[in-house]
Amino acid sequence: MNLSSLFPPDVVIVKATREMWISPLCMEEEKLIEGAVEKRQREFRAGRHAAHAALSRLNAPPAPLLRGEKRQPVWPTGFLGSITHCRDACAAVCAEKGKIVSLGIDVEPLTPLPKGIARYINTVQEERFLQLHDSLPGRLIFSAKESLYKCYYPLLQHYFGFQSVSLDIDIPERRFHFMPTPESHIRFPRNLCFHGAYLVDGSHLYTGCFLTRQRPAPP
């Protein structure tokens, strides 16, 4: 199954190859992982290499992908993106700024969440939904909210808990939307349109989100 189905055609997604996990980056990027454990170094290299490959396909000028104050990648002017990795999979998604306002992607193994974690992630409604549809990946809610968080954080610039939103999942279309929960005080931008999708690729679950500008209402 093609990961590009998570996003529109003008968004580029790249899965990290085996070589990307071990190939050194430029000096400025390697400096960011000096002293990090080997696992962190491998994940960082895979993510940055995948992001560079995606940006190259968009004809972005080559430059180091450095880190912001909150450890987020600093994308080249005029571009945006998102990076995800787990123990044995990594991907990056990038686009030019314009119709696409923000992006988020997450990858998870097809294994259950550690015991006790779901109660901090799933709302009561979501837990019931998963019980009724036990063929769905056990990490679907977690992964969708992770990609949703990555998508909105650059705009909101502050943390929000996963139980601040409740998902509405369309199984036949493999799509999802969300609503803030009654207890949530997050002011999600109303002038943007949210798109969320998921798919299973091999032994992994991928979720992706993006935001577009809504068309003005007709007079």
* Residue 160 to residue 187: CA distance in whole angstroms: 11
* Residue 131 to residue 194: CA distance in whole angstroms: 26
pLDDT tens digit at each of 219 positions of the chain: 588 899 999 999 999 999 999 999 999 999 999 999 999 999 999 999 999 999 999 999 999 999 988 888 999 999 999 999 999 999 999 999 999 999 999 999 999 899 999 999 999 999 999 999 999 999 999 999 999 999 999 999 888 889 999 999 999 999 999 999 988 888 899 899 999 999 998 899 999 999 999 755 554
What the chain holds in terms of domains, given with CATH numbers, is: 3-213 (3.90.470.20)
- Tokens 């954080």 belong to 153
Partnered with residue 104 across adjacent β-strands are 209
Q: What's the 3-state SS for the chain? A: CCHHHHCCCCCEEEECCHHHHHCCCCHHHHHCCCCCCHHHHHHHHHHHHHHHHHHHHCCCCCCCCCECCCCCECCCCCEEEEEEECCCCEEEEEEEECCEEEEEEEEEECCCCCCCCHHHCCCHHHHHHHHHCCCCCCCHHHHHHHHHHHHHHHHHCCCCCHHHEEEEEECCCCEEEEEECCCCCCCCCCCEEEEEEEEEECCEEEEEEEEEECCCCCC
* Residue 199 to residue 15: CA distance in whole angstroms: 14
* Residue 52 to residue 24: CA distance in whole angstroms: 13
* Residue 168 to residue 125: CA distance in whole angstroms: 10
